[in-house]
A and B are shown apart, each in its own frame.
Chain A
């Protein structure tokens, strides 16, 4: 039974259990110090890491997140142990780089990745719910493109060393982070991004990565599979994640149905929806949400590595150019980034169909 749960979780109940564990771990990290609804958020973690690496100068959003480094290492070890570490790529690295960048920008306009949209919805946030609805709408809109044969060139096998670069970099950064070298000159003592204790975050990251690799956990992928193939197994994981997160919020008194008091959020429902619809649409074309890109990149997919590089670059740009939203609201630069993302993904989607 444990083997079916942890090593080959492909049944609906196993994926639901893992989804629930993901939510519990995310809630635990928030309880121990991560910002509200940010126990697991690939885009927030990337923005924090971008700051720690000097790609932007906002100390309060800078921290070499052990969760993110753990996700990379956990996925790598899980794939390696299951003999699924295969270095491949060449499908369309430029598209993946740009696509990854737009995914991140869309997430920053909403303030969170699709997983955080679940966590925000579970906290009672109306804007979180608008974002989650946007993700679902975007994924559903991408289905006709898939039915029309949207695809890239077949990935080909590549030299194994290339696939080891990202896990090796994550390992070295985790070492540096454990020695306290990752935070660059916080504005005041402890001025880096709010976070849970290092060891707990790293352990949770390893779990997220390993379990994410084995279960193929992906919010956008679960909606796609349900809509396209009537396969609801991954959807069970997503629903379990949302349900457990909501239950824990209710039990801890953190559940507050609200539009204006959602922690860290803006109140713009329209742009939350449009931004996350772009993310949902784009994630299907790029083959996965930001979290899934991290997992794929760690298992030797060099196109996903390009997407992660694009996300990291965009994370720096997002803060430096005021693209990301804040409780003040959505900026004009953010709206332009969302519209630019729509144009990019629509043009790519139309151009790469087999049926013209």
Chain B
């Protein structure tokens, strides 16, 4: 990095400032700063977390893992306390065990639910176990 000093560093720095400013304009214009996880126009946007849990359980009974995971994800997005062990609204240890089984099954190919279902399951797993709080 010895070559990067004096006027060269000024030029590189100024170019990066312009690039960052352009990227910021692009994000500001196209990124939807107020965008939420689920757009208001998305299907099921008006349903509560509890409604989605109910729909997920129905889908599970039908054996539709993909639909169940989609509804569980929607429930967790609306109310993360669904996957907080300390909350009265916690879905329970049985749900945790089921989630891990689904993830393992989808990864091994035993459960053919599609990539969207694996993405939903992974999201719920990440939400369940970490963060800053």
A residues in contact (CB < 8 Å) with B: 35-38, 41, 43-44, 47-48, 51, 58, 60-63, 108, 111-112, 140, 143-145, 147-148, 187-194, 260-267, 324, 326-328, 331-333, 335-336, 339-340, 342-343, 346-347, 349-350, 353, 355-356
**A332-B31 CB under 8 A given contacts A38-B130, A194-B133:** yes
Q: Is B37 an interface position by the 8 A CB rule?
A: yes
- The answer to whether A36 and B129 touch (CB under 8 A), given A143-B1, A188-B87, A332-B31, is yes
- Chain B residues with Cβ below 8 Å from A140 are 1
User: Closest residue to B27 on the A side, CB-wise?
Assistant: A335
Q: Are B24 and A260 in touch, CB under 8 angstroms?
A: no
- The residues in B between 70 and 98 inclusive whose CB is less than 8 angstroms from any CB of A are 77, 80-81, 84, 86-89
B32 proximal to A (CB < 8 A): yes
Chain B interface residue bracket vs A: 35 or more
Question: Nearest chain-B residue to A44 (Cβ)?
Answer: B132
Which residues of chain B come closer than 8 Å to A143, judged between CB atoms?
Answer: 1
- Cβ of B47 within 8 Å of any chain A Cβ, yes or no, is no
Least Cβ–Cβ distance between A225 and chain B, in angstroms: 15
Whether B37 pairs with A144 at a CB distance below 8 angstroms is: no
A191 surroundings in chain B (CB, below 8 A): 81, 84, 86-87
Residues in chain B near residue A335, CB distance under 8 A:
23-24, 27, 31
Pick from B80, B86, B118, B130: contact of A265, CB under 8 Å: B130
Q: Determine if A349 and B132 form an interchain contact, defined as CB atoms under 8 angstroms apart.
A: no
Q: How many contacting A-B pairs (Cβ < 8 A)?
A: 146
Kindly supply a per-residue 1/0 record for chain B positions 84-127, scoring 1 wherever the CB is within 8 Å of any chain A CB and 0 otherwise. 10111100000000000001000000000000001100110111
Report yes or no: A188 in contact with B88, Cβ–Cβ below 8 A: yes
A58, A108, A326: most-surrounded residue (chain B CB, <10 A): A326
In the complex, the answer to whether A60 meets B13 with C-beta atoms within 8 Å is: no
User: Cβ of A347: which chain B residues have Cβ within 8 Å of it?
Assistant: 17
Q: Which chain B positions have C-beta within 8 A of A60?
A: 80-81, 84, 133
Say whether B87 contacts A47, CB under 8 Å: no
Given A60-B80, A335-B27, A339-B20, are A355 and B131 neighbors across the interface (CB < 8 Å)? Answer: no
Among A47, A145, A260, A267, the residue within 8 A (CB) of B132 is A47
Give chain A residues whose Cβ lies under 8 Å from the Cβ of B127.
264, 326-327
Contact B132 A35 (CB under 8 A): yes
CA distance A195 to B119 in the complex (A): 28
A41 cross-chain contacts in B, Cβ below 8 A? 132
- Identify 21 residue pairs between A and B in the complex whose beta-carbon atoms are under 8 Å apart, listed by A's number: A37-B130, A38-B131, A51-B133, A61-B132, A111-B132, A140-B1, A143-B1, A147-B2, A147-B5, A148-B6, A188-B86, A188-B88, A189-B86, A260-B119, A264-B132, A327-B123, A328-B123, A339-B20, A343-B20, A343-B24, A356-B10
Is A48 in contact with B133, judged by CB distance below 8 angstroms? yes
A143-B1, A327-B127, A343-B20 given; 9 more Cβ-contact pairs under 8 Å = A37-B130, A43-B132, A187-B81, A264-B126, A336-B27, A336-B31, A342-B20, A346-B17, A355-B6
Contact partners of B133 in chain A: CB under 8 A: 35, 44, 47-48, 51, 58, 60-63, 192-194
Inter-chain CA distance A320–B123, complex, in Å, is 22
Q: B14 in the interface, Cβ–Cβ < 8 Å?
A: yes
Cα distance A263–B122 when bound, in Å? 10
User: CA A143 – CA B5 in complex, angstroms?
Assistant: 10
Do A36 and B130 touch (CB < 8 A)? Answer: yes
CA distance A36 to B128 in the complex (A): 10
Bound form: Cα–Cα A356–B6 in Å: 6
CA distance A27 to B128 in the complex (A): 19
By a CB distance below 8 angstroms, the chain B residues around A331 are 33, 35
Q: How far is the CB of B63 from chain A (nearest CB, A)?
A: 24
Flag if A336 contacts B87 (CB, 8 Å): no
Asked whether, in the complex, the Cβ of B130 is within 8 Å of the Cβ of A262, the reply is yes
Query: Nearest Cβ distance between residue B119 and chain A, in whole angstroms?
Result: 7
| B122 & A261 in contact (Cβ 8 Å cutoff) | yes
Residue contact B24 to A264, C-beta cutoff 8 Å: no
Rounded to whole Å, the gap between the CB of B98 and the closest CB of chain A is 16
Q: How far is B103's CA from A60's CA once the two chains are assembled, in angstroms?
A: 26
**Chain A contacts of B33 at CB under 8 A?**
331-333, 336
Q: Residue of A at shortest CB range from B119?
A: A260
For the complex, what is the distance from the CA of A35 to the CA of B126, rounded to whole Å?
A: 12
Given B77, B88, B103, which contacts A261 in the complex, CB threshold below 8 Å?
B103
In-complex Cβ contact of A346 among B16, B31, B126, B129 (8 A): B16
B21 at the interface (CB under 8 A from A): yes
